[in-house]
Amino acid sequence: MLLRVARDSIAHGFEHGRPLRVDVSKFDPELQREGASFVTLKKHGQLRGCIGALSAYQPLVQDVAEHAYAAAFSDPRFPPLTPEEFPDIEISVSVLGAPEPMAVRDEDDLLRQLEPGRDGLILEDGPYRATFLPSVWESLPNAREFVRQLKRKAGLPPDYWSDTLRVSRYRTEEFSERELA
């Protein structure tokens, strides 16, 4: 259902220039509860957009509709999606669990605690913040490189470490059109 809402919201965006407004009451209670999601778009296996939220602040089904639209039309790394590209887009929805702060002494301690393939990771230090979803492990399977690239994404040097660095992990439930094909 979330994949259908994501695709419908993108289609709605082409016609109306805004995300689909869903009638939350018409969905299962599980989709009506507040939830945080990321919507990822891929074209021929290559990232084409990914937008989401780390904290739940609205009904999950509406969160997916808004992030699908944003991934298609507002990801600053890519030009807006075109109608010609849309048939080639594969959509994935990641529903995030609550982030859990990690107590780590240093980067080696963090690397020992990580569960590759399962953990999503958030790094924060002052104004610097970034996350990688668990699905990023597919392209960065080495834990040290995963963390180094996440620091780069946050705008930090890859060898950065500080006592003020905060680290949280989370798990996701992922749904992909690839799995339905």
Based on the fold, state whether residues 17 and 62 are members of the same structural domain.
yes
pLDDT for 124-164, tens place per residue?
Answer: 999 999 999 999 999 999 999 999 999 999 999 999 999 99
Predicted local distance difference test score (pLDDT) of residue 178:
79
Based on the fold, state whether residues 118 and 85 are members of the same structural domain.
no
Range of 129's domain?
A: 100-172
Based on the fold, state whether residues 90 and 105 are members of the same structural domain.
no
Predicted local distance difference test score (pLDDT) of residue 180:
67
**Within a domain: residue 168?**
yes
Question: pTM to 2 decimals?
Answer: 0.89
Based on the fold, state whether residues 125 and 49 are members of the same structural domain.
no
Domain boundary among 96, 112, 130: 96
Among residues 19, 16, 9, 14, which one has the least CA distance to residue 82?
A: 14
**Within a domain: residue 73?**
yes
pLDDT for 1-36, tens place per residue?
Answer: 999 999 999 999 999 999 999 999 999 999 999 999
CB contact at 8 A, 63 and 32: no
Predicted local distance difference test score (pLDDT) of residue 181:
56
Based on the fold, state whether residues 20 and 58 are members of the same structural domain.
yes
CB contact at 8 A, 96 and 47: no
State how far the alpha carbon of 122 is from the alpha carbons of 16, 52, 64, 128, 149, in Å: 34, 13, 20, 10, 12
At residue 89, does pLDDT exceed 80? yes
pLDDT for 104-130, tens place per residue?
Answer: 999 999 999 999 999 999 999 999 999
Helices and strands (H and E) in the chain: how many? 6, 8
**Within a domain: residue 179?**
no
In the chain, the number of structural domains is 2
